[in-house]
Amino acid sequence: MSSLRPSPIAPTVEFDRDGVQHGFLRLPYSRDDSAWGSVMIPICVIRNGKGPTALLSGGNHGDEYEGPLALYDLARTLDPSQVSGTVIIVPAMNYPAFRAGTRTSPIDKGNMNRSFPGRPDGTVTEKIADYFQRELLPRADIVFDFHSGGKTLDFVPFCAAHTLPDKALEQKAFDAVAAFSAPFSMRMIEIDSVGMYDTAAEEMGKVFVSTELGGGGTSRAQTVGIARRGILNVLRHAGVVAGAVEKGRTQWLDMPSGDCFSFAEDDGMIETMVDLGEPVDEGAVLARIHSTGRTGIAPQEIRAKMSGVLAARHFPGLVKAGDCAAVVAVEVD
């Protein structure tokens, strides 16, 4: 790591200064419309003396809104007298993607959550990832990264952590998930964990917690409320913010294997046969994909490979071969 050049990102905030600072991570980006211009990524640091550090992010994917809504709000309203330690808030981590309303960056097509550990001499997305990897993650005791389904998926609202080889770290993460108190709490597996922010944080031994809170490229009153209450609960649980956790009822879900995921094998128009949160039996038809090029063709059926509840579904009405059509998770006590 020491052989890498320094990050080109210059923060306009000081991480060890008490009080509330609203500033930017300024990333030089020379381009046609701004020769010596920069990408200005909003950041807020709220510090009150010694104590744990919480690193909070939204907008890792630019078309997911519960996180940014909760975090711009938290940055504006969190009273530093209620804080012990430091809260670092980056509400729109992949800021170019967030401004464009797209999952990936319009500058370099970078998917932030496949760009870790990043590069200080890479693309704009890789430079942001590198800054989190080398400057922000090492400061953190607990890392919270908000996600939702974006424009192409919709989820039952859940807070999540991963099953990990380090069982002590795993337990700390699941304790934070329980404190968040979303309607659902997920023991999550990933299809493709290489390059994820989650993996970078976990490999550094950090408590890492995430969410999937709805989707469709928008937000709902219910899911934004869950995000706002949940993040305060996690900060209280971590001892960074004063006050008791306001626990709500949660249903734990498990993703026991890759059989949770179902993918479309043809292009077409998707018909959802089960709604989010509803129970499904193994073999049940989750969705049908209708060919639209001509009449008279039977739809392709997508069947559940295990019993459980429908935890996620494809969002727009049209699908392409390879799209994730549905995710089933198993209810656990």
Q: Give me the least distance between CB of 251 and Zn ion, in Å please.
A: 22
Q: Which is nearer to Zn ion, 61 or 313 (CB)?
A: 61
Cα separation, 74 vs 249, whole angstroms: 23
Report the SS3 class of residue 158: strand
CA nearest neighbour of 243 among 232, 229, 255 = 232
From 5-13, 143-151, 168-176, 200-208, give the range in contact with Zn ion by CB under 5 A: 143-151
Q: Which is nearer to Zn ion, 61 or 237 (CB)?
A: 61
- How many other CB atoms are found less than 10 A from the CB of residue 198? 24
Q: Give me the least distance between CB of 12 and Zn ion, in Å please.
A: 27
Q: Give me the least distance between CB of 216 and Zn ion, in Å please.
A: 13
What stretch of H or E contains 125?
A: helix 124-131
Q: Which is nearer to Zn ion, 241 or 326 (CB)?
A: 326
From 58-66, 116-124, 254-262, 293-301, give the range in contact with Zn ion by CB under 5 A: 58-66
- How many other CB atoms are found less than 10 A from the CB of residue 261? 16
* Residues 270-289, mask of contacts with Zn ion (x by CB under 5 A): --------------------
Q: Give me the least distance between CB of 174 and Zn ion, in Å please.
A: 20
From 37-45, 144-152, 198-206, 238-246, give the range in contact with Zn ion by CB under 5 A: 144-152
Count of residues near Zn ion by CB under 5 A: 2
* Residues 153-192 within binding reach of Zn ion (CB under 5 A): none
From 54-62, 169-177, 227-235, 303-311, give the range in contact with Zn ion by CB under 5 A: 54-62
Cα separation, 119 vs 114, whole angstroms: 12
H/E/C letters for each residue in 200-255?
Answer: HHHHCCCEEEEEECCCCCCCCHHHHHHHHHHHHHHHHHCCCECCCCCCCCCEEEEC
Q: Which is nearer to Zn ion, 66 or 130 (CB)?
A: 66
Q: Looking up tokens 């020769």, which residue turns up?
A: 35
In contact, 44 and 22? CB cutoff 8 Å: yes
Q: Which is nearer to Zn ion, 168 or 194 (CB)?
A: 194
- Using rule CB under 5 A, residue 147 touches Zn ion: yes
In contact, 207 and 169? CB cutoff 8 Å: yes
Indicate the residue type of 225.
G
Per-residue exposure over 267-290, b if at least 16 CB sit within 10 Å of its own CB, e if not? ebebebbbebeeebeeebebbbbe
Q: Give me the least distance between CB of 13 and Zn ion, in Å please.
A: 25
- Using rule CB under 5 A, residue 151 touches Zn ion: no
Q: Which is nearer to Zn ion, 61 or 187 (CB)?
A: 61
DSSP of 259-286? GGEEE-SS-EEEEESS-TT-EE-TT-EE
Cα separation, 179 vs 88, whole angstroms: 19
Q: Which is nearer to Zn ion, 160 or 289 (CB)?
A: 160
Q: Give me the least distance between CB of 63 and Zn ion, in Å please.
A: 8
* Residues 237-266 within binding reach of Zn ion (CB under 5 A): none
Q: Give me the least distance between CB of 67 and Zn ion, in Å please.
A: 9
- Using rule CB under 5 A, residue 61 touches Zn ion: yes
Q: Which two tokens stand for residue 177?
A: 């998930």
Beta bridge partners of 48: 85
From 36-44, 56-64, 293-301, 314-322, give the range in contact with Zn ion by CB under 5 A: 56-64
From 15-23, 34-42, 55-63, 223-231, give the range in contact with Zn ion by CB under 5 A: 55-63
Interacting residues toward Zn ion by CB under 5 A:
61, 147
